[in-house]
Chains A and B, each alone.
Chain A
Amino acid sequence: KNQVEQSPQSLIILEGKNCTLQCNYTVSPFSNLRWYKQDTGRGPVSLTIMTFSENTKSNGRYTATLDADTKQSSLHITASQLSDSASYICVVSEEDPLVEYGNKLVFGAGTILRVKS
């Protein structure tokens, strides 16, 4: 069964500190992996997207890594800010050559991050 597991489930850190969120998946065949940030009542904001051949990608203070061999990804947040408090969702796209109009998406449960002053 294709799954995406994220850890930790929730995390509290002090403003200015760094943190790393983990995403392990068993999705196969793999197409791409995305990290989203989402605030309550708002739409998700895409942070990074990585394909099989990419092992790191940065977006400001966010850096995502991907190890396609071990099927692990991480999202590192540097110098956290109060506005980083949100849910971070890892989404893995399963390649489905039989479907022309949309790959199957497998969602992680998300990590809830709270940044405190």
Chain B
Amino acid sequence: GAGVSQSPSNKVTEKGKDVELRCDPISGHTALYWYRQRLGQGLEFLIYFQGNSAPDKSGLPSDRFSAERTGESVSTLTIQRTQQEDSAVYLCASSLFLGGAVETQYFGPGTRLLVL
């Protein structure tokens, strides 16, 4: 079956522009995570969705970042007025959620964002 997919795979944008990143999780996975990894740094948690709700938005670095999920499926991460420090690989992962259990996450290939 299909895994987690993300689009675009690469994005180059100018400082100040808005970008939208898309994640298609594995069908039936109720939990969805967004991360980013800057060059030379570790994974940085951004936001977690359970269904269409985001119980934990604590990782969003600023109010320029927002995310939504619809139909317990596709999620979009939007970055407004991009800055050069937003350049990173943005990763999406999904998992089943069985209420308190630790679940395997399946990661997408990531979107590489470069802000010039």
Q: Could you list which residues of chain A lie within 8 angstroms of chain B, going by C-beta atoms?
A: 9, 34, 36, 38-44, 46, 49, 85-87, 89, 91, 99-105, 107, 109-110, 112-114
Contacts and interface: CB of A to CB of B under 8 A. Distances in A.
B110 to A, nearest CB: 6
Interface size class for chain B?
20 to 34
Contacts of A87: 102-105
B89 interface: yes
A101 B43 contact: no
Given A38-B105, A112-B102, A44 B112 contact: no
Q: Which of A86, A101, A105 has the most CB of B within 10 A?
A: A101
8 contacts: A36-B42, A38-B102, A40-B101, A44-B45, A46-B43, A104-B110, A105-B110, A112-B102
A45 to B, nearest CB: 9
Contacts, number: 81
A91 B31 CA distance: 20
Which of B31, B35, B37, B113 has most chain A Cβ within 10 Å?
A: B37
Given A102-B37, A102-B39, A103-B39, A43 B45 contact: yes
A39 B95 CA distance: 12
Interface string B41-74: 0111100101000011001000000000000000
Given A40-B100, A86-B102, A101-B112, A107 B107 contact: yes
Contacts of B38: 102
Contacts of B48: 41-43
Contacts of A41: 31, 48, 50, 55-56
B88 interface: yes
B45 A42 contact: yes
